[in-house]
Structure 1
Amino acid sequence: MTVYDLAPFAEDGVRPDSPTQQWRFPIISHPYPRWNYITALVVHDHEALWTAVMPSDAELAVVASFHDEYMTRWYNPGYRARMADKYPFDVDGGANGRYLLKVADGNWKYRKRTWDHGPWPFRDDEPMDLLPLLDRIHTIGGEPMPHWTEWKSRHADVFAAVTR
């Protein structure tokens, strides 16, 4: 495993002991990071915002699959290898990063890097579990896009672990 200097990512609150580094996305401490992560999890205890809790191991695996689906669909293996040589996380200034957050009551929220107002798209009275949230991210119109439903079918064992 490559050893990276994580100091440049410290201002985003990246922890060197993050269990998600193996999947190339970070856990950050605020929802407006400096770096253009393709996927990131927000975990913090700032009272001014939401308390964002650490997901379960099964949820982390689902987020890893969500991240891998994006990387597989949009980046060829050569470019992915170059990214891996340069940084500990998948970053791309041209990608619209997806930042996921699990709130203390177990519901999930997300935002995209380019959103310039409103921290998260859902009101607090609209609870959402992880899988419906990921489906919503992949939905245009009324149903999730075929590439996402096919991905979930091919990785059903990962997704089954968080299905209620």
Structure 2
Amino acid sequence: MTTKTAWPFGADADRDDPLTALRIPVTGTHPQWRYIATFDRDSEARPTDAEAAMLASFIDEYKTHWFNEHYQQKLAERTLDVDGGCNTTIFHKWGDGDWSYRRGSWQYGPFWVPVSPRLRNGDLDHKSLPPHTLAQTMDRIRTIADDKPMKRWIDWKAARTEVFGGEA
């Protein structure tokens, strides 16, 4: 008889989702825990294996950049990466090559960036971005102002061509 260990995240994160094995929490749009990044369970589509690897790498880049080795080891002892100082990034997939994100702290502005497909090019009074691939969405997250993505992110992707396909 096997005994399952206690799941500290309750209904906030899906314990048995295949993404959880990659340390990618699958949550709703307003997770209760401060995960580094999550995948929205209400997405219209699931990540491919290649996209799941990119999500896991995105989380790893954050840990490598912000946390020292000792704290990274403490995080590795947990099932999912949670830190009280994180502003959780929630990823949503609308369809093939169509991703958006939001931050857990957002209270104003569009709910998703880019906005949902039904709001694109509509009558709303905001700029509508075209669909973004997951890599483009991550680049946007790792960009300050309207410039190009941060050097650390470009270098991270360039060192992981098996995950990002040489897209730097």
Q: Is the shorter-chain TM-score for this pair beyond 0.5, marking a shared fold?
A: yes
The whole-number CA distance in structure 2 between the counterparts of 1:42 and 1:131 is: 17
**Does residue 105 of structure 2 align to residue 114 of structure 1?**
yes
2:14–2:20 Cα contact (<8 Å) kept? no
Structure number with larger C-alpha Rg = 2
Letter in 2 for 1:54: R
1:42–1:52 Cα contact (<8 Å) kept? no
- Name the structure 1 match of 2:123: none
Candidates 132, 136, 139, aligned match of 2:140: 136
Structure 2 alignment gaps of length 5 or more: 121-129
Letter in 2 for 1:110: Y
3-state DSSP of counterpart to 1:88 = coil
Between the two structures, name the one with larger relative contact order (CA 8 Å, sep ≥ 6).
1
- Name the structure 2 match of 1:21: 20
3-state DSSP of counterpart to 1:108 = strand
Matched-pair identity in %: 37
1:37–1:92 Cα contact (<8 Å) kept? yes
3-state DSSP of counterpart to 2:132 = coil
1:102–1:109 Cα contact (<8 Å) kept? yes
Please, what TM-score do these two structures have when normalized by structure 1?
0.82
| CA shift in 2, pair 1:76/1:23, >3 Å | farther
Kindly state the Cα deviation for residue 43 of structure 1 after the two structures are TM-superposed: 2.1
2:102–2:113 Cα contact (<8 Å) kept? yes
Kindly state the Cα deviation for residue 39 of structure 1 after the two structures are TM-superposed: 0.9
> Which whole-Å deviations, capped at 9, do the CAs of 1:36-80 have from their partners, x for residues lacking one?
111111122xxxxxx432111110001111111111111112112
The whole-number CA distance in structure 1 between the counterparts of 2:32 and 2:19 is: 19
Kindly state the Cα deviation for residue 19 of structure 1 after the two structures are TM-superposed: 2.3
Q: Which segments of structure 1 move beyond 4 Å, counting only runs of 4 or more?
A: none
| CA shift in 2, pair 1:106/1:153, >3 Å | closer
Letter in 2 for 1:5: A
Letter in 1 for 2:32: R
Candidates 52, 56, 68, aligned match of 1:76: 68
**How many equivalent pairs are there?**
150
The whole-number CA distance in structure 2 between the counterparts of 1:142 and 1:77 is: 30
Root-mean-square deviation over aligned CA pairs: 2.0
The whole-number CA distance in structure 1 between the counterparts of 2:104 and 2:154 is: 24
Kindly state the Cα deviation for residue 93 of structure 1 after the two structures are TM-superposed: 1.6
Candidates 50, 65, 76, aligned match of 1:58: 50
2:24–2:55 Cα contact (<8 Å) kept? no
| CA shift in 2, pair 1:27/1:150, >3 Å | same
